[in-house]
Amino acid sequence: RCRPVTSDLCEEPVRIQGALVCKRGCDSLQSLKKLCVCLTDRNVATPRDYYFALAHAVRDHLVGRWIRTQQHYYEKDPKRIYYLSLEFYMGRTLQNTMVNLGLQNACDEAIYQLGLDLEELEEIEEDAGLGNGGLGRLAACFLDSMATLGLAAYGYGIRYEFGIFNQKIVDGWQVEEADDWLRYGNPWEKARPEYMLPVHFYGRVDHTPEGVKWIDTQVVLAMPYDTPVPGYKNNTVNTMRLWSAKAPNDFNLQEFNVGDYIEAVLDRNLAENISRVLYPNDNFFEGKELRLKQEYFVVAATLQDIIRRFKSSKFGCRDPVRTCFETFPDKVAIQLNDTHPALAIPELMRILVDVEKVDWDKAWEITKRTCAYTNHTVLPEALERWPVSMFEKLLPRHLDIIYALNQRHLDVRHVAALYPGDIDRLRRMSVIEEGDCKRINMAHLCVIGSHAVNGVARIHSDIVKNSVFKDFRDLEPEKFQNKTNGITPRRWLLLCNPGLADVIAEKIGEGFITDLSQLKKLLNFVNNETFIRDVAKVKQENKLKFSAYLEEQYKVKINPSSMFDVQVKRIHEYKRQLLNCLHAITLYNRIRSDPSKSFVPRTIMIGGKAAPGYHMAKMIIKLITSIGEVVNSDPYVGDRLKVIFLENYRVSLAEKAIPAADLSQQISTAGTEASGTGNMKFMLNGALTIGTMDGANVEMAEEAGEENLFIFGMRVEDVEALDRRGYNAQEYYDRLPELRQAIDQISSGFFSPRDPGCFRDIVNMLMYHDRFKVFADYEAYIKCQGQVDQLFVVRAPGTWEGHTSLQTSKLPSISTLLTSGLWALA
């Protein structure tokens, strides 16, 4: 039994910094053939052994490029972009690396010669689930795109030992399982103990003649693990550096546990559980001390690293002259994606003022010019408001700095000067919220500490600018911008839907892979029957493949010519999975009331994780599975309707489900989804969208033409008007018989015969305190779904009738492809 070591497979291994690496990239087939020789003993090698062997062979091709890229950055010393995020939702790496390095065919071939199946090996890799949903996935997509653009970019985050939990459905309920993703080792990371850095917590502030000192602190070490981020076929390999917490070797040994060596070693966990687990909340602030520690941990370690790199850079400032920090903002950009890394602002101030002895005003200017802030959600419950008392204990020096910053921000030279006597405005704009429990408003801290503030879709940027940050906009209007989110076409088309990518490349070449606006060239083929048939054929193949997967997973018979109607995203009231449920029930009732009527067959698939502490979201999952249980086993229904809950939705499942979808559901209440990126992934894979005018859907509708999407329901203005009038769910319940029937069924236990009161909380919420106004859009939604049915006629299985007459049809799925380039990332 042999273990292929990376360097063994090299033509010319050389020793760099103690590690053997390839001098020249070695030919993949050749290294894989050596692998064949290696792995001849078939009786002992497990599929996992093959996966690791392949991963190592592929990784070999990264190493040389990685070193060269980093050396190139050192020589050229370009401006560095630092993307700080508490989440990087990377998913799997093997296939992405093969795609970006152009190795896929060679590997496929070699693996085939071994009598193995590449896809099977790929399935062995665990997802790197270091994120909750959209925000973490966006960070991962940005890394891919920045590497493809050849930008000197770094992702900085935490190497959680446990990522987002694995979701199991037991008896219809969500059950969480720890995600022990590192159990078998991670071939894609490289530990760098030599770059370990100290991070301080607790202690007290000492004002000395030489300046302010933060002393008597507890130290936790931050150990970096580097993961290569290859660009698409451009020889660039950037770095994602994730920090892992380590206790110092003298941890708790001197002071507390004199003589109790065993206790002291066991207590190392106290320090090391900082990087133990990802908080599984999406769009929700839970003020836990451990979370604050995580946030400071990543910021403190990263800033030390950034400053070290700045100081040792070729054209930077090597000598410790104070003024050299003037050029810092020209060399360093720190993007605060959401407020999670907001502590970068007071931390940079602390380093500049206390450690580097830069004077306060200069330091503030440098900080502002370096930082920029992205706001990712409008939901007030997501806003980070840390109790001052927690800061007092954990980060006393930072609290001082925040007070001082706030003082200067509000004082007579600034806000107070512009609005004399406007006490209310001062209160609204303060970083410190007064009240029983004084709190620090991290969004306000970010706004005053950044030179640019952006939302993630045009509609969202407008809301950010004109509602909560209105006062700040009045003060500095030029600061507010918008940057609509995007997705990487490598993972979300080339990797997950190679059939479609091939069909497109055949017509317009491969340029679209790095420049999606070239999809416009497909306009020449909208009437080309072969092209239309090829696109439909690929969709049908994807559907068959996904059906087989579902049948194996859930033991349900899927009708592959039914419409695949998919809503996959985190479970949230604002995303309105409940509206989808009401539609499913309505369809079910219609079939039951007239089984002989013709009916467009649908397979409704809903998937997503609920935050473990989010009761309503967990009830929603139970409702979906309960509806499925009734519908899927009803003989009247047969294969005309199925309701499937897709268990454990994650990046690798998205890669299977999205290419198979006919219909993409993006139905949040207008004004609540900041952008959404799931919507873009579906569109790029040729699914049609049913959605509200919310988030990036607005821009999608604008580019594709509203007639090419199924847009329904209230606009933001309508929601606001309804709020002013007062939303009364009862009104809709009384007026709409099908809605009433569905609600009555849910509340009477029709879907939960063993526990009739099971869904009491859901019905109560919908009827009496629904912040997201599900009933108000029910009628428009059902009607719009009717239009979807009309278009989806089962002529050739699984094709949209519209395909054959693109000019006259309202909804050619190809036209959604054509325009999807406009907001996708480079």
Ligand X SMILES: *[C@@H]1O[C@H](CO)[C@@H](O)[C@H](O)[C@H]1NC(C)=O
Active site residues: 376, 569-570, 575, 677, 681
Residues of this chain that interact with ligand X (CB under 6 A) are: 81, 83, 142, 149-150, 231, 234-236, 269-270, 273, 290, 333, 335, 337-339, 374-375, 377-378, 380, 382-383, 443, 454, 456, 458, 461-464, 467-469, 481-483, 485, 507, 514, 528-531
Sheet of strand 385-387, all strands in order from the earlier edge strand to the far edge: 385-387, 439-441, 432-433
Task: State the binding partner of 273 from ligand X, ligand PLP, none, CB within 5 to 8 A by kind.
Answer: ligand X
Q: Over the range 676-691, which residues count as b (16 or more CB within 10 Å of their CB) and which as e?
A: bbbbbbbbbbbbbbbb
Q: Parallel, antiparallel, or unpaired: how do β-strands 563-568 and 663-666 relate?
A: parallel
Q: Which is nearer to ligand X, 231 or 798 (CB)?
A: 231
Distance CA 348, CA 354 (A): 10
Cβ-closest residue to ligand X?
234
**Angle, vertex CA 274, rays to CA 273 and CA 276, nearest 5:** 55
> Whole-number minimum distance, CB 673 to ligand PLP, in Å?
7
> Whole-number minimum distance, CB 408 to ligand X, in Å?
22
Task: State the binding partner of 646 from ligand PLP, ligand X, none, CB within 5 to 8 A by kind.
Answer: none
Q: Which is nearer to ligand X, 357 or 470 (CB)?
A: 470
Q: Which is nearer to ligand PLP, 391 or 645 (CB)?
A: 645
Task: State the binding partner of 224 from ligand PLP, ligand X, none, CB within 5 to 8 A by kind.
Answer: none
Task: State the binding partner of 483 from ligand PLP, ligand X, none, CB within 5 to 8 A by kind.
Answer: ligand X
> Whole-number minimum distance, CB 168 to ligand X, in Å?
24
Q: Which is nearer to ligand X, 465 or 491 (CB)?
A: 465
Q: Which is nearer to ligand X, 566 or 696 (CB)?
A: 696
> Whole-number minimum distance, CB 708 to ligand X, in Å?
22
Task: State the binding partner of 556 from ligand X, ligand PLP, none, CB within 5 to 8 A by kind.
Answer: none
Longest dimension (CA), the chain: 90
Number of C-beta neighbours around residue 786 at 10 A: 10
Distance CA 237, CA 728 (A): 55
**DSSP 8-state secondary structure symbol assigned to residue 511:** G
Residues of this chain that interact with ligand PLP (CB under 6 A) are: 133-134, 137, 569, 650-651, 654, 676-678, 681
Q: Over the range 230-242, which residues count as b (16 or more CB within 10 Å of their CB) and which as e?
A: bbbeeebbbbbbb
Task: State the binding partner of 92 from ligand X, ligand PLP, none, CB within 5 to 8 A by kind.
Answer: none
Distance CA 492, CA 473 (A): 36
Q: Quickly tell me which residue has 């920029």 as its tokens.
A: 372
Phi, psi (deg, nearest 5) at residue 400: -55, -45
Distance CA 190, CA 227 (A): 6
How many Å separate Cα 108 from the centre of its chain?
Answer: 29
> Whole-number minimum distance, CB 634 to ligand X, in Å?
43
Phi, psi (deg, nearest 5) at residue 654: -60, -40
Q: Which is nearer to ligand PLP, 367 or 577 (CB)?
A: 577
> Residue 733 is encoded by which pair of tokens?
């319940």
> Whole-number minimum distance, CB 340 to ligand X, in Å?
8
> Whole-number minimum distance, CB 699 to ligand PLP, in Å?
14
Beta-ladder partners of 480: 453
Task: State the binding partner of 137 from ligand X, ligand PLP, none, CB within 5 to 8 A by kind.
Answer: ligand PLP
> Whole-number minimum distance, CB 678 to ligand PLP, in Å?
2
Task: State the binding partner of 588 from ligand X, ligand PLP, none, CB within 5 to 8 A by kind.
Answer: none
SS3 labels along 419-430: CCCCHHHHHHHC
Distance CA 286, CA 299 (A): 19
Beta-ladder partners of 61: none
Distance CA 500, CA 502 (A): 5
Q: Which is nearer to ligand X, 362 or 483 (CB)?
A: 483
Q: Which is nearer to ligand X, 55 or 237 (CB)?
A: 237
Distance CA 419, CA 389 (A): 30
Cβ-closest residue to ligand PLP?
678
